[in-house]
Amino acid sequence: MFQPVYLDHNATTRLDPAVLAAMMPLLEGQCGNASSRHDYGRRARLAVDEARQRVAAVVNAHPTEVIFTSGGSEANNLFLKGAAATMKPGTLAVSAVEHPCVIKPAEQLARQGWVLREIAVDGDGRVRADDFAEVLLTRPRLLSVMLANNETGVIQDVPALASAARSTGAWFHSDAVQALGKRAIDFRSLNAAGVHALTLSAHKAHGPKGAAALIIDKRVEVQPQIAGGGHERGLRSGTENVPAIVGFGIAAELAAQRLAESSARVQALRQRLEAGLNELGAMIFAVNAEKLPNTTYFAFANIDGETLVGKLDREGFAVASGSACSSANPEPSHVLRAMGVAPEFARGAVRVSLGGDNTETEIDQFIHALRATVGRLQGLTAIAV
Ligand SMILES: Cc1ncc(COP(=O)(O)O)c(C=O)c1O
């Protein structure tokens, strides 16, 4: 079967064969419910506990700080709504470039009496220190700033922001979903700097969809958003998705083992890609910021991103326009809007996110296809104007 070249690893990644192999017995005969008292149940519980230890070890957290959820979206909702439910409404601040699964729950809280403050970013997508300082003067109770952005790949200086926020007594959360497998994550040192909770998700790092975690400092009180049998220390009820949780543990471990090699590899591929994009006259976003090694976000003036992605798909290349998670939404990306990118470029945004198995040949073929496609579309634009 024809397999297009996959260049959309920030949307999701292929399941690693070793992850699938570890999951298979649990999808077949070992069907136990981790709460059951018989042998099947005990084995399932052991498998969940081992996975918890693996995930904790990878991010230097204690296993009791790992709360498994169904996805990064659920973990972000659990932190924001769960922590807010234990407090009197006050100010809640989130960066303007957060994923919708942080922005939307924050907006829900704003409808319930919280004051929502967006933290501004600069032209390269980094949180502006002056605006963050202003936010701190409002004595926020909850703060959320992501470690790495899904569209631009921009890395925020979360330790510095969290340290600055300490004196306010706010709980500080960081969405680290895009960092797993692309950058070392150390919860203990982030926690020492003032970060109280982190979100991770398996499917961004060659694990299965449907397993994720909120890593949380036990001093933070959160109210469960799913009540029931009291699973996950009472913070997230629901029968554990044992195969996916086991897959998450193995994927996290493999990601950590391969991190140095794979980030050097994708970084070199990204440089090759960006050299090609510069030759074609593309505008590359967030060039001055520190970024994930695998992510390039670019546009050509007056070429619609959706159109370009569709044409590249027909040429055999899978890339994303704007944020993959919101590609059903034709609005220009809120991330680029927050960065002050002009609409003619923002509407053209295309994201390439590389993975460890992409090759130099694939990059060269992609640039070749892009050159031809952009040339045709620019020709059409010239005729139309
Ligand atoms: C930065 C970020 N946070 C959260 C999520 C949501 O994670 P999940 O797909 O596991 O719900 C995504 C997914 O695209 C993401 O990129």
Residue pLDDT, tens place only, 242-288: 999 999 999 999 999 999 999 999 999 999 999 999 999 999 999 99
Q: Could you state, in order of their start, the residue ranges of all structural domains in the chain?
A: 5-12+259-384, 17-253
- Strand 5-6 to 317-318 pairing: parallel
Q: How much distance in Å is there from the Cα of 151 to the middle of ligand 1? A: 11
Give the ranges where the chain is alpha helix by DSSP (H): 17-27, 39-58, 72-84, 100-110, 129-137, 158-165, 187-193, 242-279, 305-315, 334-338, 343-346, 360-384
pTM above 0.85, yes or no: yes
Ligand 1 contacts CB of residue 325 (under 6 A): yes
Hey, is 121 helix, strand or coil?
strand
Atom of ligand 1 nearest to the CA of 74: 11
150 CB under 6 A from ligand 1? yes
Give me ligand 1 centre to Cα 153, in Å. Answer: 13
Report the pLDDT averaged over residues 101-130: 98
The pLDDT assigned to 378 comes to 87
Q: End-to-end CA distance of the chain: give it in Å, rounded.
A: 41
Q: Which residues contact 100 (CB under 8 A, 6 or more apart)?
A: 323, 325, 326
Query: What is the SS3 assignment for 63?
Result: helix
Q: Which residue has the tokens 């520190």?
A: 290
Regarding the beta carbon of 177 and ligand 1, being less than 6 Å apart is answered yes
Separation of CA 73 and ligand 1 centre (Å):
6
- Nearest atom in ligand 1 to the alpha carbon of residue 11 is 14
214-247 pLDDT per residue, tens: 999 999 999 999 999 999 999 999 999 999 999 9
- CATH fold match for the domains 5-12+259-384 and 17-253: no
Nearest CA, atom 5, ligand 1: 72
CATH domain 5-12+259-384 topology: Aspartate Aminotransferase, domain 1 (3.90.1150)
Q: Is 198 a pocket residue for ligand 1 (Cβ < 6 Å)?
A: no
Average pLDDT over residues 139-160: 98
Distance 249 CA to ligand 1 centre (A): 18
Check pocket membership of 153 for ligand 1, CB cut-off 6 A: no
- Span 293-322, mean pLDDT? 96
Each residue's pLDDT tens digit, 193-213: 999 999 999 999 999 999 999
Pocket test for ligand 1, best of 101, 180, 214 (most atoms within 8 A of CB): 101
Q: Is the CB of 54 within 6 Å of ligand 1? A: no
CATH of domain 17-253: 3.40.640.10
Mean pLDDT in residue range 73-89? 98
Torsion of CA 325, 327, 329, 333, to 10 degrees: 80
Q: Is 178 in the pocket of ligand 1 (CB under 6 A)?
A: yes
**146 alpha carbon to ligand 1 midpoint, in Å?**
11
Which residue is closest in CA terms to ligand 1's atom 16? 150
Handedness of CA 150, 155, 157, 159 (dihedral sign): positive
Catalytic residue, from 155, 198, 250, 325: name it.
325
> What is the mean predicted confidence (pLDDT) over 74-94?
98
* Contact 73 CB / ligand 1 (< 6 Å): yes
- 345 CA distance to ligand 1 centroid (A)? 24
Which residue from 97, 53, 77 is spatially nearest to 173, judged by alpha carbons? 77
Q: How close is the Cα of 176 to the center of ligand 1, in Å?
A: 9
> What's the confidence (pLDDT) of residue 331?
80
Nearest to 215 by CA among 239, 257, 185, 178: 185
Give the pLDDT score at 323: 46
- Cβ(200) – ligand 1 distance below 6 Å: no
Q: How far, in whole angstroms, is CA 178 from its chain's centroid?
A: 3
101 is catalytic: no
Are 282 and 298 contacting, i.e. CB atoms less than 8 angstroms apart?
yes
Q: Which residue from 8, 150, 177 has its CB within 8 A of the most atoms of ligand 1, so it is best to mutate? A: 177
Percent of the chain whose pLDDT exceeds 90: 93
Average pLDDT, the chain: 95
Segment 40-53 mean pLDDT: 98
